[in-house]
Amino acid sequence: MRAVVTGGAGFIGSHLVELFIEQGHDVHVIDNLVSGKKEQLHPDAHLYEADITDPQVISLAAGIKPDAIVHLAAQADVSRSLANPVYDLQVNTIGTLHMLEACLLAKTATLLLASSSAVYGMPPALQASSKWNITEETSTEPTSCYGLSKLMAERYVELYAKLYGIPGLVLRFANVYGPRQLPKGDGGVIAMYAKRICEGQSIRIHGDGGQTRDFIYVKDVAEASLLALVSNLTGTYHVCTGDAISILALTDRLEHLLGQSIKREYAPSRNGDIRHSRLSPLKLVDALGWTASTSFDEGLRQTLQSWGLSTI
C-alpha cells in the first residue's frame, strides 16, 4: 500500500510510520514540523514539509497517488483550542477537508481520520460513575473547541463518503501514551510525570486524583490503525482499552515500576476537567477481533525507559 501520513513526524504518527514501513508499505509523510521532529521519522519515509491548511497540499497529496491518507496532523491541545479557536478550526477541520479533496482528486484513496474521545464531552452517566463505557452511539456534546473541530472533521468524512463514495474510517483514540510524547498539553500526563521524575521534581495532581482515563499504548494504536486500513474497514470506531485508571493509581504504578516513592503535590481541579473518560472497545473487537495487547505496566515501563529511567 502507498500511504500518505499527515502528522507522521509527531508522537503517534512516528510510531505508525515505523509500523507501516516494517510491514512493507510505502510511506509519504506530510508535516509542517510544528510539533513533529524530523529525527524521529523512519529514514525510509519520504518527508514533504507542508502545511495542511495550505490549499496547495491537495495537489501535493493527490500527486503521490496514495491508496490511503492517514490523517493525523492536528492542533491537538485542548487549552490552545480555547485560546485560539480559529487556528484550531483551520488545522483540524479545514485541514481535514483538504485531505478529503485530495482523496477526491486521487480517485482511489481511503481517508483514515484520527479523532478523539473529546468529541463526547462529559456524558452525564460517565461523570457519575467510572464503570460506564462510552459507545460510538453515545451523543456527541463537545466541551472544547478541539472536540468540536474534530467532530466537524468527522462529519465531513461522513459527508464525502455519502456524496462521493470516498471510503472513510474515523478512529476515535482514547488517551494515548508512550515514547516520544511531548510533556505538555492536557493529554500528556504520563510524559509530563516522567519528565518531572527525571528532573527530581514533584508531580502535580489536580483535584483528588480520583479522575480516571482510558490510557492506551501508542504501539497498540498504530497496530489497530494499520489493521483497520488493510481490512478495508469504514465507519466510526474507538481505539481504546475499555479500562479506567485513576491518576492516583497511575502514580502508584509509577512508584512500583521505579522502585521509589514520588513526591506529589496537589493543586486545584482545572476548569472544564473531565472526571471520567472510558470508551468501549467492543465495536472494533466485533469488526476485527482486535484488542490492545500491551499491559499498562509494560507500556509504562517502555515509556519510563525512553526517558532514561530505570525500572524493575
Q: Provide the annotated active-site residues.
A: 146
One-letter amino acid at 4 equals V
- State which residue, 51 or 67, has the beta carbon closest to ligand NAD: 51
- State which residue, 161 or 191, has the beta carbon closest to ligand NAD: 191
Specify the stretch interacting with ligand NAD by CB under 6 A; choose among 32-40, 97-105, 128-136, 226-234. 32-40
- State which residue, 77 or 259, has the beta carbon closest to ligand NAD: 77
Tell me: does residue 69 bind ligand NAD (CB under 6 A). Answer: no
Q: How far is the CB of 248 from ligand NAD (least distance, A)?
A: 20
Q: How far is the CB of 30 from ligand NAD (least distance, A)?
A: 6
Q: How far is the CB of 91 from ligand NAD (least distance, A)?
A: 5
CB 218 within 8 A of CB 14: no
* Stated length of the chain: 312
- Cα angle: 107, vertex 112, 117; to 5 degrees: 150
Q: How far is the CB of 281 from ligand NAD (least distance, A)?
A: 14
Q: Give the Cα separation of 53 and 89 in Å (integer).
A: 10
CB 279 within 8 A of CB 214: yes
Tell me: does residue 13 bind ligand NAD (CB under 6 A). Answer: yes
Q: How far is the CB of 179 from ligand NAD (least distance, A)?
A: 12
How many residues of this chain interact with ligand NAD, rule: CB under 6 A? 27
Return the residue of 9, 69, 89, 245 that touches ligand NAD, per CB under 6 A: 9
Q: How far is the CB of 108 from ligand NAD (least distance, A)?
A: 23
User: Segment 72-131, which members bind ligand NAD (CB under 6 A)?
Assistant: 72-74, 76, 91, 95, 114, 116
Return the residue of 3, 4, 5, 7 that touches ligand NAD, per CB under 6 A: 7
Instruction: Report how far Cα 89 is from the mean position of its chain's Cα atoms.
Output: 17
Measured from the Cβ of residue 170, the count of other Cβ atoms closer than 10 Å reads: 22
Q: Give the Cα separation of 132 and 120 in Å (integer).
A: 14
Tell me: does residue 179 bind ligand NAD (CB under 6 A). Answer: no
User: Segment 33-52, which members bind ligand NAD (CB under 6 A)?
Assistant: 33-36, 51-52
Return the residue of 3, 32, 88, 166 that touches ligand NAD, per CB under 6 A: 32
- State which residue, 50 or 248, has the beta carbon closest to ligand NAD: 50
Return the residue of 3, 4, 5, 12 that touches ligand NAD, per CB under 6 A: 12
Binding footprint of ligand NAD on the chain (CB under 6 A): 7, 9-13, 31-36, 51-53, 72-74, 76, 91, 95, 114, 116, 173, 175-176, 187
